């Protein structure tokens, strides 16, 4: 027992193998390889006859009814062995008439009747659908039996199989619109399935013989002890069911649509029938023989399952615990069912499309006076739709199958349906007077009787069937389904087959004799009935035709100039006697017919030869007249073809299947400079190749080997393409294409000029590569210089930032200190001076903001600003910003509502804070009244932070301009608002640097919303920080501060500011002075050190001063350098960080924080 996933994986793997094999076969066929076009593949393809009936049902039939299983194998064996001429004739006609299906075959024979083709199609569909449903049931049976336990809500196995087979058939059964093109990939897969079936069946038979029994002798001994089993195998060769099953199986191998497709349509070589005549009977015999050990093992070891003997193929290995054999049997059953489903569905779809749907569609388009430019597309669509509909109907029908006793009864029902084709099919090949009227009426009546006697009792409700069997249709006792016209005592199957086929045959003969035959009927009858069978044997002469008569026919058909060279050259090559009055050898008769078929068509050539062979004088004059007319038409067509190929610039040479030249043009002769007379009709291509070898056109010293190899390449029929340079310097491109039925077309193009152009182009490319290499080298040098300049620019920006900020910082600190000192004087005495100092401080702050913004924009534009993107919890950023700007908004009479978010995003905390600060600052600055909303919204894989305001709004034409430097809205120029026009420019550049989307939406006079979209983080989530308790403000009076700065003005301003705050200060301009003063002064409470000094940096000073005192002194680094790496280094060393310019308030908060 296997689990659901094991069985599913096994079945899926098997289907994938089929896909690969079919793809491989199609690929080989497209490449012109004939590896798989052989008799073995063809013969195994006929094994599609062995379905789940022969795999499971035959075992069940043998267990219950003994030898009654044998006819399904014996019937096809008899037909193939004894009906070789019939099969040969059927295949020959189909190839010449380009037959696509059994419906097409019957319609073509009986006056090309579309009405008959439609009826055949409908009968085939109704008759075969139960058979397809049988396969779905068999797959379901095997799947459910092997499954370990039923899964709740399990998908219907039959539905899955139907879907997979639909996909397979759609992919590999509808690739070719022309159904006479062989489905190489699909048939290769079907042949593989046939091989798997026989291996699985024989394998289980051998397993029963040597694993369950100790060999055939032991099996026979145990069987002889079971009298009940022996009784079931008593001779019943002449029982009703045996004879009926045998006759049905004999005609089914010819009439089943899938067998007709596999055996007739897919045949590409009549010689394959010779192998099939012994290989296919051997294939069926293996099944017939190994049914016995399987059945005997089942009824002896599992007698309780005899009522369900269809499962012996699975129950036997399961009971023995052989999982490998169980798996093999399971795959064999799958192969038996799927092969039949694929080929049957494809054959029925071809019939339904070609005979029913496509004519209806064409008629509708013609009525609409529309063009048929999309015919191929529509045909493929109709065929694929037909496949899906047919499999859907089969799936729906399989729910009715439980009404049957076993698998065998379902197959026999379908066999009886297709047996209705037998009278018309056999009559098509052997009865010249058969007519479409008789075929149509006979098939229609036979189908009606089959439906009433066999199918209706199965599909109708039981109550209705009981009434019909007891009272008859319309109360007529003579019309009881199982006792028609009072004949009783026959088994239902025998009764139904007898009446349906008898009515069919009688109507066919009667109405065919009454019908009037027109010219088309007679022509088609001749093409089918007069087709030769197996008398074509080499080396024998036909007594009714002489060589001179053949020559005369050949001259009339091909013309004197062309006929005589071909005829006598063949006689010389085959050693035929030059006595023209002697009987002609049959191979010469075949050769002449092939020559005629190449000019006037195979059907017409067959009529001519048949008339000549029968020597029917009454028709001889008509044949001669027909040949004269055909000869004139052929000569005209030949001249037209000759003129056409002469207009082609390429050289062309065409050889037939005998490797003789049959067509060429002067371009070919001129290109190879052939002498007059070398290229002529009937010239062996080997002579032409030999002439080329003598001129040194081929490499190698062995001339004959070169010639033989090239001729063999043409015989094998492989398409090829190559280029060759002739000794005279001309370069020729050679393309070879095989022709259907043998022969080869070769084209030769002079590509010398193109090769010269390619050589020149290669030279140009080489020169161009040198130029590109030189340009690349120069570009690399420029890039290196640019990188060097960029690095210099980075250093310049850092130095410029420091040098610009130093005096501003000093001025700010001086102004702040002076203002504080004036405030400490008598109240009101220096109010005006304090106000002026406030304006000075505001101006200095504005200048500092402009310089800071410009430096920041410069860094963003040059790409020198580094980022540190990491998982960031938004609440740790949005909450303090909301609190900070809520106070600012409240001071302006606005309401700011902040909605925090706990989402974690990937971003740079410092840069993102700067963006949000700029957006919030603008919202507060430009909103006169109303409220501001600051919040976040989760999207699919991102978070969007919004800043809404109720300000004046932004016009639509300004949405892009607002992100430019120093740009302010025109309507804001007269408003008394502070703004530099740089905040949005910085925010936009930072967002682009971080990869965040910054967008704006605005409604004039209503408000604006700026949004920043950030990706959700997939990294480690940072812990949620707890709010720290507010520190109490500490008094910094008397705090000892040690300051180090090389800018004397800034140092003096810093000292003044600190002293104003009540601090004791020691100041130094460098490390040496600092060390001297440290040795002379007190131990400080705080170190304030500038980063950029004259000979060292602030970190060196802090480290050196740590050695001057025993305790570790808290240190703060002051700098105008805005590079992130400076701040990061300070954090790494545990040093505080102050960004210049430094206000007195910031200085006070920093000292309070350190203490």
Maximum Cα–Cα distance across the chain: 155
Quick one: average pLDDT of 1038-1067?
A: 87
CB-count burial class (<10 Å; 0-12, 13-18, 19+) for 506: middle
Please tell me the distance from the alpha carbon of residue 1123 to that of residue 426, in angstroms, as a whole number.
98
Cβ-based neighbour number of residue 99 at 10 Å: 23
Residue 534 pLDDT > 50, yes or no? no
- Average of per-residue pLDDT values in the chain: 78
pLDDT in tens, 838-894: 656 655 665 665 566 556 666 666 666 777 888 999 988 898 888 888 888 888 889
Residue 400 pLDDT > 80, yes or no? no
Residue 1026 pLDDT > 60, yes or no? no
User: What does the pLDDT read at residue 972?
Assistant: 57
Residue 222 and residue 100 share a domain: yes
Residue 482 and residue 563 share a domain: no
**Token pair of 1101, please?**
């000073």
Quick one: average pLDDT of 202-223?
A: 85
Percent of the chain with pLDDT over 90: 13
User: What does the pLDDT read at residue 511?
Assistant: 92
Please tell me the distance from the alpha carbon of residue 54 to that of residue 977, in angstroms, as a whole number.
95
Residue 373 lies inside a defined structural domain of this protein? no
Last residue of a domain, one of 583, 614, 644: 644
Residues 6+ apart with CB under 8 A from 606: 96, 526, 527, 530, 531, 593, 597
Residue 127 lies inside a defined structural domain of this protein? yes
Q: Are strands 1086-1090 and 1064-1068 parallel, antiparallel or unpaired?
A: unpaired
Residue 658 and residue 638 share a domain: no
User: What does the pLDDT read at residue 257?
Assistant: 92
Residue 211 pLDDT > 70, yes or no? yes
**Token pair of 192, please?**
């593989």
Residue 155 lies inside a defined structural domain of this protein? yes
- Are 204 and 328 spatial neighbours (Cβ–Cβ below 8 Å)? yes
Residue 37 lies inside a defined structural domain of this protein? yes
Residue 399 lies inside a defined structural domain of this protein? no
User: What does the pLDDT read at residue 916?
Assistant: 92
User: What does the pLDDT read at residue 535?
Assistant: 39
Q: Name, of 384-398, 616-630, 762-776, 938-952, the range with top average pLDDT.
A: 938-952
Residue 272 lies inside a defined structural domain of this protein? yes
pLDDT in tens, 90-122: 888 887 777 888 988 898 888 888 889 899 999
Quick one: average pLDDT of 1014-1023?
A: 77
CATH code of 67's domain: 1.20.1740
Quick one: average pLDDT of 641-667?
A: 83
Residue 242 and residue 109 share a domain: yes
- Are 334 and 139 spatial neighbours (Cβ–Cβ below 8 Å)? yes
**pLDDT class of 616 with cuts at 50, 70, 90:** very low
pLDDT in tens, 982-1000: 788 888 888 988 899 999 9
Residue 749 three-state SS: strand
Quick one: average pLDDT of 959-980?
A: 65
Last residue of a domain, one of 616, 644, 672: 644
Quick one: average pLDDT of 22-36?
A: 67
**pLDDT class of 442 with cuts at 50, 70, 90:** very high
Quick one: average pLDDT of 1128-1143?
A: 85
pLDDT in tens, 803-850: 555 566 666 666 666 766 666 665 556 666 666 666 566 556 656 655
Residue 189 pLDDT > 50, yes or no? yes
User: What does the pLDDT read at residue 508?
Assistant: 93
Residue 636 and residue 665 share a domain: no
Residue 1066 and residue 1149 share a domain: yes
Residue 1067 three-state SS: strand
Residue 667 and residue 604 share a domain: no
Residue 768 pLDDT > 60, yes or no? yes
Quick one: average pLDDT of 497-522?
A: 88
User: What does the pLDDT read at residue 1031?
Assistant: 47
Q: Which residue has the higher pLDDT, 247 or 149?
A: 247
pLDDT in tens, 544-594: 577 888 888 787 777 667 788 888 888 887 777 677 777 777 778 878 877
**pLDDT class of 29 with cuts at 50, 70, 90:** low
Residue 479 pLDDT > 80, yes or no? no
Quick one: average pLDDT of 679-701?
A: 83
Residue 953 lies inside a defined structural domain of this protein? yes
User: What does the pLDDT read at residue 537?
Assistant: 39
Last residue of a domain, one of 698, 721, 750: 750
Quick one: average pLDDT of 1036-1041?
A: 87
User: What does the pLDDT read at residue 369?
Assistant: 46
**pLDDT class of 720 with cuts at 50, 70, 90:** confident
Residue 30 pLDDT > 70, yes or no? no
User: What does the pLDDT read at residue 91?
Assistant: 87
Cα-Cα-Cα-Cα dihedral sign, residues 892, 819, 1051, 843: positive
Q: What are phi and psi of 891, to 5 degrees?
A: -65, -25
CATH code of 1062's domain: 3.40.50.2300
Instruction: Flag the least confident range among 82-91, 542-551, 595-604.
Output: 595-604
Residue 808 lies inside a defined structural domain of this protein? no
- Are 260 and 48 spatial neighbours (Cβ–Cβ below 8 Å)? no
Q: Which residue has the higher pLDDT, 956 or 800?
A: 956
Q: Which residue has the higher pLDDT, 896 or 375?
A: 896
Q: 72 is in which domain, residue-wise?
A: 4-368
- CA–CA distances in Å: residue 1077 to residues 992, 1065, 1101: 49, 11, 13
User: What does the pLDDT read at residue 373?
Assistant: 46
Residue 904 and residue 1006 share a domain: yes
User: What does the pLDDT read at residue 947?
Assistant: 95
Q: What are phi and psi of 828, to 5 degrees?
A: 85, -5
User: What does the pLDDT read at residue 172?
Assistant: 60
Residue 723 three-state SS: strand
Residue 950 three-state SS: coil
Residue 342 and residue 200 share a domain: yes
Residue 1011 pLDDT > 60, yes or no? yes
CATH code of 715's domain: 3.30.450.20
Please tell me the distance from the alpha carbon of residue 863 to that of residue 785, in angstroms, as a whole number.
16
User: What does the pLDDT read at residue 548?
Assistant: 81
User: What does the pLDDT read at residue 174?
Assistant: 65
Taking the whole predicted model, whether its pTM rises above 0.75 is answered as no
User: What does the pLDDT read at residue 622?
Assistant: 52
Please tell me the distance from the alpha carbon of residue 795 to that of residue 807, in angstroms, as a whole number.
19
pLDDT in tens, 1095-1107: 888 999 998 888 8
CB-count burial class (<10 Å; 0-12, 13-18, 19+) for 84: middle
Residue 293 pLDDT > 50, yes or no? yes
pLDDT in tens, 58-85: 787 777 777 778 888 899 999 999 988 8
User: What does the pLDDT read at residue 973?
Assistant: 47
Residue 445 and residue 296 share a domain: no
Residue 614 and residue 483 share a domain: no
Residue 96 and residue 181 share a domain: yes
Quick one: average pLDDT of 6-10?
A: 73
User: What does the pLDDT read at residue 1066?
Assistant: 92
Count structural domains, the chain. 6
Residue 473 pLDDT > 80, yes or no? no
């Amino acid at each position: 027992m296997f689990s659901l996933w094991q069985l599913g994986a096994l079945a899926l793997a098997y289907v994938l193998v089929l896909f690969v094999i079919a793809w491989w076969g199609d690929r080989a066929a497209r490449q012109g390889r004939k590896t798989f076009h052989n008799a073995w593949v063809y013969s195994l393809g006929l094994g599609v006859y062995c379905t789940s009936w022969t795999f499971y049902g035959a075992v069940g039939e043998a267990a219950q009814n003994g030898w009654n299983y044998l006819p399904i194998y014996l019937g096809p064996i008899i037909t193939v062995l004894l009906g070789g001429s019939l099969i040969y004739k059927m295949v020959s006609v189909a190839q010449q008439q380009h037959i696509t299906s059994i419906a097409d075959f019957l319609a073509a024979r009986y006056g090309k009747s579309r009405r008959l083709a439609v009826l055949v199609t409908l009968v085939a569909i109704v008759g075969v659908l139960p058979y397809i449903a049988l396969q779905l049931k068999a797959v379901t049976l095997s799947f459910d039996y092997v499954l370990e336990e039923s899964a709740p809500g399990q998908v219907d196995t039959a539905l899955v199989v139907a879907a997979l087979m639909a996909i397979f058939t759609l992919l590999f059964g509808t690739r070719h619109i022309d159904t006479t093109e062989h489905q190489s990939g699909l048939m290769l897969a079907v042949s593989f399935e046939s091989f798997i079936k026989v291996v699985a069946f024989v394998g289980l038979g051998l397993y029963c013989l040597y694993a369950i029994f100790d060999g055939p002798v032991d099996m026979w001994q145990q069987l002889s002890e079971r009298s009940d089993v022996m009784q079931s195998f008593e001779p019943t060769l002449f029982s009703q069911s045996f004879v009926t099953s045998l006759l049905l199986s004999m005609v089914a191998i010819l009439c089943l649509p899938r067998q007709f497709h596999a055996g007739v349509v897919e045949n590409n070589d009549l010689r394959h029938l010779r192998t099939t005549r012994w290989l296919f009977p051997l294939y069926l015999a293996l099944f017939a023989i190994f049914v016995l050990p399987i059945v005997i093992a089942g009824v002896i070891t599992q007698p309780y399952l005899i009522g369900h003997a269809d499962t012996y193929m699975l129950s036997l290995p399961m009971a023995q615990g052989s999982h490998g054999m169980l798996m093999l049997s399971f795959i064999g059953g799958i192969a038996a069912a799927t092969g039949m489903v694929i080929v049957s569905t494809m054959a029925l779809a071809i019939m339904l499309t070609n005979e029913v749907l496509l004519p209806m569609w064409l008629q509708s388009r013609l009525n609409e006076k529309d063009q048929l430019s999309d015919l191929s597309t529509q045909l493929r669509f109709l065929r694929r739709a037909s496949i899906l509909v047919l499999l859907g109907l089969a799936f729906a029908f399989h729910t009715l199958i439980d009404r049957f006793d076993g698998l065998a009864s379902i197959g026999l029902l379908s066999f009886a349906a297709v047996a209705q084709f037998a009278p018309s099919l056999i009559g098509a090949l052997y009865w010249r007077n058969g007519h479409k009227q008789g075929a149509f009426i006979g098939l229609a009546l036979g189908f009606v009787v089959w439906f009433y006697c066999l199918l209706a009792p199965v599909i109708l409700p039981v109550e209705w069937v009981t009434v019909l069997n007891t009272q008859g249709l319309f109360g007529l006792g003579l019309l009881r389904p199982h006792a028609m016209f009072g004949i009783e005592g026959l088994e239902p199957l025998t009764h139904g087959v007898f009446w349906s086929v008898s009515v069919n045959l009688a109507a066919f003969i009667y109405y065919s004799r009454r019908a009037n035959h027109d010219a088309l009927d007679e022509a088609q009858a001749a093409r089918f009935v007069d087709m030769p069978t197996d008398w074509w044997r080499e080396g024998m002469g036909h007594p009714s035709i002489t060589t001179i008569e053949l020559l005369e026919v050949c001259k009339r058909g091909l013309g004197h100039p062309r006929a005589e060279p071909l005829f006598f050259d063949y006689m010389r090559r085959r050693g035929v006697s030059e006595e023209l009055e002697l009987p002609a050898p049959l191979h010469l008769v075949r050769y002449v017919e092939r020559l005629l078929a190449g000019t006037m068509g195979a059907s017409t050539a067959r009529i001519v030869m048949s008339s000549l062979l029968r020597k029917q004088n009454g028709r001889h004059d008509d044949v001669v007249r027909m040949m004269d007319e055909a000869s004139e038409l052929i000569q005209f067509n030949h001249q037209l073809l000759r003129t056409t190929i002469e207009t082609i610039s390429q050289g062309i040479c065409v050889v037939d299947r005998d490797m003789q030249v049959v067509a060429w043009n002067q371009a070919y002769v001129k290109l190879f400079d052939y002498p007059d007379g070398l290229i002529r009709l009937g010239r062996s291509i080997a002579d032409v190749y030999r002439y080329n070898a003598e001129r040194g056109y081929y490499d190698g010293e062995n001339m004959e080997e070169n010639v033989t190899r090239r001729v063999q390449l043409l015989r094998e029929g492989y398409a090829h393409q190559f280029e060759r340079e002739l000794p005279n310097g001309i370069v020729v491109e050679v393309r070879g294409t095989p022709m259907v039925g043998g022969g080869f077309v070769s084209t030769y193009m002079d590509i010398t000029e193109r090769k010269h152009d390619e050589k020149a182009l290669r030279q140009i490319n080489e020169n161009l590569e040198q130029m590109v290499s030189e340009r690349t080298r120069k570009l690399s040098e420029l890039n290196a210089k640019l990188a060097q300049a960029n690095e210099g620019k980075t250093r310049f920006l850092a130095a410029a930032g420091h040098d610009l900020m130093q005096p501003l910082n000093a001025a700010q600190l001086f102004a702040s200190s002076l203002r504080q000192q004036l405030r400490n004087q008598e109240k009101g005495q220096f109010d005006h001076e304090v106000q002026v100092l406030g304006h000075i401080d505001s101006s200095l702050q504005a200048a500092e903001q402009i310089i800071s913004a410009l430096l920041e924009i410069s860094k963003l534009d040059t790409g020198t600003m580094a980022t540190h993107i990491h998982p960031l919890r938004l609440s740790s950023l949005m909450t303090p910003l909301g609190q900070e700007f809520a106070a600012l908004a409240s001071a302006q009479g606005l309401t700011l509502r902040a909605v925090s978010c706990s989402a974690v995003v990937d971003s740079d905390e410092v840069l993102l804070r700067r963006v949000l600060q700029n957006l919030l600052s603008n919202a507060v600055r430009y909103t006169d009244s109303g409220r501001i909303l600051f919040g976040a919204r989760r999207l699919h894989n991102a978070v969007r932070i919004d800043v809404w305001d109720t300000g004046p709004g932004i016009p639509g034409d300004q949405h892009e301009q607002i992100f430019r430097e120093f740009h302010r809205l025109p309507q804001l120029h007269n408003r008394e608002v502070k703004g530099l026009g740089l905040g949005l420019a910085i925010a936009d550049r930072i967002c682009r640097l971080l990869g965040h989307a910054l967008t704006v939406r605005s409604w004039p006079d209503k408000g604006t919303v700026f949004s920043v979209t950030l990706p959700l983080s997939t990294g480690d989530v940072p812990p949620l920080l707890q709010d720290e308790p507010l520190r109490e403000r500490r008094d910094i009076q008397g705090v000892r501060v040690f300051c180090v700065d090389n800018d004397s003005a800034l140092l003096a301003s810093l000292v003044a500011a600190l002293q104003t705050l009540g601090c004791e200060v020691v100041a130094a301009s460098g490390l040496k002075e600092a060390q001297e003063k440290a040795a002379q002064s007190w131990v400080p409470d705080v170190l304030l050190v500038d980063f950029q000094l004259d000979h060292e940096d602030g970190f060196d000073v802090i480290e050196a001063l740590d050695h001057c005192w025993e305790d570790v002194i808290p240190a703060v680094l002051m700098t105008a350098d805005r590079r992130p790496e400076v701040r990061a280094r300070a954090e790494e060393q545990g040093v505080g960080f102050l960004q210049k310019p430094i206000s007195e308030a910031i200085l006070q908060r920093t000292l309070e924080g350190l203490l």
